[in-house]
Chain A
Amino acid sequence: MIPPAVVLAASFGYLLLLFLIAAHADRRAAQGRSLIDNPGVYALSWGVYCTAWTYFGSVGRAASGGVWFLPIYLGPMLAMLLAWIVLRKMVRIARTYRVTSIADFIASRYGKSPALAALVTLITVVGIVPYIALQLKAVAAGYQVMTGAEAAGAAAWWTDKTLFVALTLAAFAIAFGTRHLDLAERHEGMVAAIAFESAVKLGAFLAVGAFVTWGLFDGFGDIWHRARAVPELGALLRLDRGGGGFGHAQWFALTLLSMLSVLLLPRQFQVMVVECVDERHIRRAAWLFPLYLLLINIFVLPIAIGGLLLPGNGSADAETFVLSLPLGHGAPALALLAYVGGLSAITGMLVVETVAVSTMVCNDLVMPALLRLGVLGAPRGSDLTRVLLSIRRGAIVGVLMLGYLYYRVAGEAYALVSIGLISFAAVAQFAPALLGGIYWRDGTRAGAFGGLIAGFALWTYTLMLPSLAKSGWIGGDFLARGPFGIALLAPERLFGLTGLDNLTHSLFWSLGVNVALYVGLSLARAPSAREASQALLFVDVFRRGGAEPVFWRGRARLDDLRALATRFIGPERAGAIFADYAAELGVPPAELRPDARLVDRVERRIAGAVGTASARVMVASVTREEPLSVEDVLEILDQASQLRAYAHALEEKSRSLETATAELRAANEQLLSLDHLKDDFMSSVTHELRTPLTSIRALSELMLDDPEMEAEQRGEFLGIIVSESERLTRLVNQVLDLAKIEAGHGEWHNASVDLRALILDAARGVAELFRERGAELVLDLPASVPPLWADPDRLTQVMLNLLSNAAKFVPAEKGRVEVTLAEEGGNLVVSVRDNGPGVPPAERASVFEKFRQGGDAASRPPGTGLGLPISRRIVDHFGGTMWLDSEPGQGACFAFRLPLAPATGPGGKENGHEGADRR
Chain B
Amino acid sequence: MTGGRGPGARVLVALCAAGFALFNFPLLVVWDRPGTILGLPPLPVALFAIWAGLIAALALASERGGGRDDGE
Q: Which residues of A contact B (CB under 8 A)?
A: 67, 70-71, 74, 77-78, 80-82, 84-85, 88, 92, 220-221, 224-225, 237-240, 246, 248, 251-252, 255, 280, 283-284, 286-287, 290-291, 294, 298, 301, 542-543
Given contacts A221-B40, A287-B55, A78 and B32 within 8 Å (CB-CB): no
Given contacts A220-B40, A240-B32, A290 and B68 within 8 Å (CB-CB): no
Given contacts A85-B9, A225-B39, A237-B41, A251 and B54 within 8 Å (CB-CB): no
CA distance A322 to B37 in the complex (A): 27
Given contacts A224-B36, A287-B58, A542 and B43 within 8 Å (CB-CB): no
Evaluate contact between A81 and B15: CB separation under 8 angstroms.
yes
In the assembled complex, which residues on chain A have CB atoms less than 8 Å from the CB atom of B7? Answer: 84, 283
Besides the known contacts A280-B68, A284-B62, 7 further A-B residue pairs in the complex with CB atoms under 8 A apart: A81-B54, A84-B7, A221-B38, A238-B32, A248-B25, A283-B6, A287-B59
In the assembled complex, which residues on chain A have CB atoms less than 8 Å from the CB atom of B26? Answer: 248
Chain B residue at minimal CB-CB distance from A252: B24
Q: Top 8 A-B pairs ranked by shortest CB distance?
A: A248-B25, A221-B39, A237-B41, A81-B16, A287-B59, A542-B72, A287-B58, A239-B32
Evaluate contact between B39 and A246: CB separation under 8 angstroms.
no
**How many whole Å from B31's CB to the nearest CB in chain A?**
9
29 A-B pairs (CB sep. < 8 Å): A67-B43, A67-B44, A71-B23, A74-B23, A74-B47, A77-B54, A81-B15, A84-B7, A84-B12, A84-B62, A92-B71, A224-B36, A224-B39, A237-B43, A246-B28, A246-B29, A248-B25, A252-B24, A255-B24, A283-B63, A286-B58, A287-B58, A287-B59, A290-B54, A290-B55, A290-B58, A294-B48, A294-B55, A301-B44
Given contacts A290-B51, A542-B71, A251 and B1 within 8 Å (CB-CB): no
Given contacts A78-B20, A85-B2, A224 and B29 within 8 Å (CB-CB): no
* Of B2, B39, B44, B59, the contact of A237 (CB 8 Å cutoff): B44
In the assembled complex, which residues on chain B have CB atoms less than 8 Å from the CB atom of A298? Answer: 48
Evaluate contact between A224 and B41: CB separation under 8 angstroms.
yes
**How many whole Å from B33's CB to the nearest CB in chain A?**
9
Given contacts A77-B54, A224-B36, A82 and B24 within 8 Å (CB-CB): no
Evaluate contact between B24 and A85: CB separation under 8 angstroms.
no
Evaluate contact between B25 and A82: CB separation under 8 angstroms.
no
In the assembled complex, which residues on chain A have CB atoms less than 8 Å from the CB atom of B52? Answer: 294
In the assembled complex, which residues on chain A have CB atoms less than 8 Å from the CB atom of B40? Answer: 220-221, 224
In the assembled complex, which residues on chain A have CB atoms less than 8 Å from the CB atom of B44? Answer: 67, 237, 301
CA distance A80 to B28 in the complex (A): 20
Chain A residue at minimal CB-CB distance from B28: A239
In the assembled complex, which residues on chain B have CB atoms less than 8 Å from the CB atom of A294? Answer: 48, 51-52, 55
CA distance A697 to B68 in the complex (A): 80
* Of A92, A252, A283, A290, the contact of B25 (CB 8 Å cutoff): A252
Q: Which residues of B contact A (CB under 8 A)?
A: 1-2, 6-7, 9, 12-13, 15-16, 19-20, 23-26, 28-29, 32, 36, 38-41, 43-44, 47-48, 51-52, 54-55, 58-59, 62-63, 65, 68-69, 71-72
CA distance A220 to B16 in the complex (A): 30
Evaluate contact between A77 and B51: CB separation under 8 angstroms.
yes
In the assembled complex, which residues on chain B have CB atoms less than 8 Å from the CB atom of A71? Answer: 23
Evaluate contact between B39 and A248: CB separation under 8 angstroms.
no
**How many whole Å from A690's CB to the nearest CB in chain B?**
67
CA distance A77 to B24 in the complex (A): 13
Evaluate contact between A85 and B43: CB separation under 8 angstroms.
no
* Of A221, A237, A542, the contact of B1 (CB 8 Å cutoff): A542
Given contacts A239-B32, A283-B6, A80 and B39 within 8 Å (CB-CB): no
**How many whole Å from A95's CB to the nearest CB in chain B?**
11
- At the interface, is chain A mostly helix, strand, loop or mixed? helix
**How many whole Å from B55's CB to the nearest CB in chain A?**
5
In the assembled complex, which residues on chain B have CB atoms less than 8 Å from the CB atom of A92? Answer: 71
Given contacts A67-B43, A287-B58, A81 and B23 within 8 Å (CB-CB): no
Chain B residue at minimal CB-CB distance from A222: B39
Evaluate contact between A82 and B55: CB separation under 8 angstroms.
no
A-B contacts counted at CB < 8 A amount to 108
CA distance A283 to B39 in the complex (A): 37
**How many whole Å from B51's CB to the nearest CB in chain A?**
5
In the assembled complex, which residues on chain A have CB atoms less than 8 Å from the CB atom of B19? Answer: 74, 77-78, 81
Interface core residue of B2, B36, B40 (most chain A CB under 10 Å): B40
Chain A residue at minimal CB-CB distance from B29: A246
Given contacts A77-B19, A84-B7, A246-B25, A239 and B43 within 8 Å (CB-CB): yes
Evaluate contact between B16 and A78: CB separation under 8 angstroms.
yes
**How many whole Å from B39's CB to the nearest CB in chain A?**
4
In the assembled complex, which residues on chain A have CB atoms less than 8 Å from the CB atom of B12? Answer: 81-82, 84-85
Evaluate contact between A238 and B43: CB separation under 8 angstroms.
yes
Given contacts A78-B16, A78-B19, A280-B68, A67 and B47 within 8 Å (CB-CB): yes
In the assembled complex, which residues on chain A have CB atoms less than 8 Å from the CB atom of B29? Answer: 239, 246
CA distance A77 to B44 in the complex (A): 16
**How many whole Å from B54's CB to the nearest CB in chain A?**
6
In the assembled complex, which residues on chain A have CB atoms less than 8 Å from the CB atom of B38? Answer: 221
CA distance A221 to B36 in the complex (A): 10
CA distance A290 to B12 in the complex (A): 15
Interface core residue of B9, B12, B15 (most chain A CB under 10 Å): B12
In the assembled complex, which residues on chain A have CB atoms less than 8 Å from the CB atom of B16? Answer: 78, 81-82
In the assembled complex, which residues on chain A have CB atoms less than 8 Å from the CB atom of B59? Answer: 287
In the assembled complex, which residues on chain B have CB atoms less than 8 Å from the CB atom of A67? Answer: 43-44, 47
Chain A residue at minimal CB-CB distance from B14: A81
CA distance A84 to B6 in the complex (A): 8
CA distance A77 to B48 in the complex (A): 11
In the assembled complex, which residues on chain B have CB atoms less than 8 Å from the CB atom of A78? Answer: 16, 19-20, 23
Chain A residue at minimal CB-CB distance from B32: A239
In the assembled complex, which residues on chain A have CB atoms less than 8 Å from the CB atom of B43? Answer: 67, 237-239
* Of A80, A225, A251, A284, the contact of B24 (CB 8 Å cutoff): A251
CA distance A220 to B47 in the complex (A): 16
CA distance A902 to B19 in the complex (A): 64
CA distance A246 to B69 in the complex (A): 43
CA distance A79 to B20 in the complex (A): 10
Chain B residue at minimal CB-CB distance from A239: B32
Given contacts A280-B68, A543-B72, A255 and B28 within 8 Å (CB-CB): no
CA distance A287 to B9 in the complex (A): 15
Chain B residue at minimal CB-CB distance from A75: B23
In the assembled complex, which residues on chain A have CB atoms less than 8 Å from the CB atom of B48? Answer: 294, 298
**How many whole Å from B58's CB to the nearest CB in chain A?**
4
* Of A74, A82, A221, A225, the contact of B51 (CB 8 Å cutoff): A74
CA distance A78 to B15 in the complex (A): 8
Given contacts A239-B43, A248-B25, A283 and B62 within 8 Å (CB-CB): yes
Chain B residue at minimal CB-CB distance from A249: B25
CA distance A82 to B61 in the complex (A): 12
Evaluate contact between A287 and B62: CB separation under 8 angstroms.
yes
Chain A residue at minimal CB-CB distance from B58: A287
**How many whole Å from A255's CB to the nearest CB in chain B?**
6
CA distance A399 to B48 in the complex (A): 37
**How many whole Å from B47's CB to the nearest CB in chain A?**
6
Given contacts A74-B23, A84-B12, A238-B32, A283 and B65 within 8 Å (CB-CB): yes
In the assembled complex, which residues on chain B have CB atoms less than 8 Å from the CB atom of A251? Answer: 24-25, 28
CA distance A92 to B29 in the complex (A): 40
Chain B residue at minimal CB-CB distance from A245: B29
CA distance A84 to B5 in the complex (A): 11
**How many whole Å from A40's CB to the nearest CB in chain B?**
13
CA distance A366 to B36 in the complex (A): 59
In the assembled complex, which residues on chain A have CB atoms less than 8 Å from the CB atom of B20? Answer: 78, 255
* Of B58, B63, B65, the contact of A80 (CB 8 Å cutoff): B58
CA distance A221 to B12 in the complex (A): 35
Evaluate contact between A248 and B24: CB separation under 8 angstroms.
yes
CA distance A301 to B41 in the complex (A): 11
In the assembled complex, which residues on chain A have CB atoms less than 8 Å from the CB atom of B71? Answer: 92, 542
CA distance A246 to B32 in the complex (A): 9
**How many whole Å from B36's CB to the nearest CB in chain A?**
7
**How many whole Å from A284's CB to the nearest CB in chain B?**
6
CA distance A351 to B17 in the complex (A): 35
Given contacts A81-B12, A81-B19, A280 and B25 within 8 Å (CB-CB): no
